[in-house]
């Protein structure tokens, strides 16, 4: 059974539509700036990839806004785009329509807000729990569109959306659903969350005065990831049903693989990453020789980008330097549980357009990062098989394979 992508939606720091996002990604536009949403005086990392100008009142009622966290609002906006794009899902039985989303943190802006009030002995908003819970976004998408089949949420930190997309693939292959709204959403440009990542020395702190150059995967002088936010949503269904209903088909979701390092709660590991990439190719029934583009996890941390480079070399061997790689996070920062959905959309647009977006801020590469990362300028190349990587705290490694039809 072949599974295809028939709808896409995105909210990101460089665009709140697939067209706008892709145009900016190809042009290498940075969406990183000084944080606007809270006072950063006490933060060491004062920059982020924020979704600015996002207005939930444009598509949600006052009551819906009161009952939803920002991550859910971002997910709802991306889902609206994806479902309008896919069109015609009403032809399926509602019980056969599933939602399978990823989020690393869930409704953490509500958590931070409500916790602050509680510590000040003030009342806590009545919708605190349903706003905070990680499955809130999936539940709201189902409620809004009457999607009455399985409703799942996967939380595997930075790989959440990749696992969610893989679980969606499995729901379709095992016949548990006819179409799945999948992807991820995250909104944790927040003081406590960022302080937590600062405490791990995971965030960039040396570019507060030069935000556009802070997210620099594979580059010399990189000093951590830049927090981001956003949502990416895909609509998946079987190729047979999509063709039958005359749907526009973007790409085939051919394979999904995941593996746990089982070594360290935050440190990355070459073997686990290789295992996930290999598993995704095995699942797709493909070989490493067929991969002609990699959308890397590449968060811009000193260690992470080196480990991913080593893993790619280990799996692809002497072909590794020939395969174009790019890092979407160089432009939008790291949107945690949404990042793999956004990376997937970038990979699918690469298959669609024959353009590989650049890794920006790569004027001088780290000597230990010596592959072809598509530095600074987009490249035209016909791509038939794209691999999208996502690696998360907890030792989670996930890869997904998209192909042309």
Q: Does 62 bind another protein (CB under 8 A)?
A: yes
SS3 352: helix
Q: Considering the complex, state which of residue 42 and residue 63 has its C-beta at the smaller distance from another protein.
A: 63
SS3 136: helix
Catalytic hit among 100, 154, 158, 369: 158
Chain centroid, CA 383 distance in Å: 20
Q: Considering the complex, state which of residue 117 and residue 313 has its C-beta at the smaller distance from another protein.
A: 117
Q: Which of 19, 55, 66, 84 touches another protein by CB under 8 A?
A: 66
Residues whose CB is less than 8 angstroms from the CB of residue 206 and which lie 6 or more positions away in sequence, other chains included: 214, 221, 223
CA distances from 192 to 139, 143, 342 (A): 26, 30, 24
Ramachandran class of 126: left when φ > 0, alpha when ψ lies in -120 to 50, beta otherwise = alpha
What residues between 125 and 154 interact with another protein by CB under 8 A? 125-127
* Count of beta carbons in the 10 Å neighbourhood of residue 51: 26
Catalytic hit among 77, 213, 297, 357: 297
Our answer to whether residue 158 is catalytic in this structure is yes
User: Minimal distance in Å, beta carbon 49 to another protein?
Assistant: 31
User: Minimal distance in Å, beta carbon 64 to another protein?
Assistant: 10
Catalytic hit among 77, 213, 334, 357: 334
Q: Considering the complex, state which of residue 66 and residue 282 has its C-beta at the smaller distance from another protein.
A: 66
Q: Does 63 bind another protein (CB under 8 A)?
A: yes
**Alpha-carbon distance 44 to 121, whole Å?**
28
The closest alpha carbon to 239, from 226, 255, 253, 229, belongs to 253
Q: Does 196 bind another protein (CB under 8 A)?
A: no
What residues between 304 and 323 interact with another protein by CB under 8 A? none
SS3 267: coil
Our answer to whether residue 357 is catalytic in this structure is no
User: Minimal distance in Å, beta carbon 130 to another protein?
Assistant: 9
Chain centroid, CA 56 distance in Å: 21
Q: Does 42 bind another protein (CB under 8 A)?
A: no
Sign of the CA dihedral with 204 first, then 205, 206, and 210 last: positive
Q: Which of 36, 52, 61, 376 touches another protein by CB under 8 A?
A: 61
Only segment of 6-14, 36-44, 117-125, 153-161 that touches another protein (CB under 8 A): 117-125
User: Minimal distance in Å, beta carbon 123 to another protein?
Assistant: 5
User: Minimal distance in Å, beta carbon 125 to another protein?
Assistant: 6
The closest alpha carbon to 158, from 316, 276, 51, 3, belongs to 276
| Backbone torsions φ then ψ of 81, nearest 5 degrees | -60, -45
| Bridge partners, residue 5, by sequence | 236, 251
Q: Does 88 bind another protein (CB under 8 A)?
A: no
Residues with catalytic function: 158, 297, 334
Give me the residues that bind another protein (CB under 8 A), please. 61-63, 66-67, 122-123, 125-127
């Amino acid at each position: 059974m072949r599974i295809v992508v028939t709808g896409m939606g995105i909210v990101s720091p460089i665009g709140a539509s697939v067209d706008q996002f892709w145009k900016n990604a190809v042009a290498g536009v940075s969406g990183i700036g000084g944080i606007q949403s809270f006072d950063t005086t006490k933060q060491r990392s004062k920059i982020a990839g924020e979704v600015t100008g996002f207005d939930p009142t444009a598509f949600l009622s006052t009551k819906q806004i009161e009952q939803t966290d920002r991550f859910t609002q971002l997910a709802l906006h991306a889902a609206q785009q994806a479902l309008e794009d896919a069109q015609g899902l009403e032809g399926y039985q509602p019980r056969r329509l599933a939602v399978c989303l990823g989020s690393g943190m869930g409704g953490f802006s509500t958590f931070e807000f409500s916790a602050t009030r509680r510590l000040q002995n003030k009342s806590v908003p009545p919708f605190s729990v349903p706003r905070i819970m990680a499955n809130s976004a999936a539940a709201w998408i189902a409620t809004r569109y009457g999607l009455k089949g399985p409703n799942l949420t996967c939380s595997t930190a930075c790989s959440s959306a990749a696992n969610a997309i893989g679980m969606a693939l499995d729901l379709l292959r095992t016949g548990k659903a006819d179409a799945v709204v999948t992807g991820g959403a995250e909104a944790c440009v927040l003081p406590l969350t960022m302080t937590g990542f600062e405490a791990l020395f995971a965030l960039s702190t040396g570019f507060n005065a030069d935000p556009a150059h802070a997210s620099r995967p594979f580059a010399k002088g990189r000093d951590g990831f830049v927090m981001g936010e956003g949502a990416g949503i895909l609509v998946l269904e079987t190729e047979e049903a999509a063709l039958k209903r005359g749907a526009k088909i973007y790409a085939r979701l051919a394979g999904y693989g995941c593996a746990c390092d089982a070594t360290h709660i935050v440190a990355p590991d070459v073997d686990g990453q290789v295992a996930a990439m290999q598993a995704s190719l095995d699942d797709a029934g493909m070989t490493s020789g067929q991969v002609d583009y990699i959308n890397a996890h590449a968060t811009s941390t000193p260690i992470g980008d080196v480990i991913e480079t080593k893993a790619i070399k280990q799996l692809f061997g002497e072909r590794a330097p020939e395969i174009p790689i790019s890092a979407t996070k160089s432009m939008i920062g790291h949107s945690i549980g949404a990042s793999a959905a956004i990376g997937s959309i970038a990979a699918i647009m690469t298959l669609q357009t024959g353009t590989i977006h650049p890794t920006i801020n790569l004027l001088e590469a780290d000597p230990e990062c010596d592959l072809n990362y598509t530095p600074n300028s987009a490249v035209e190349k016909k791509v038939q098989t794209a691999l999208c990587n996502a690696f998360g705290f907890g030792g989670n490694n996930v890869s997904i394979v998209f192909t042309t039809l």
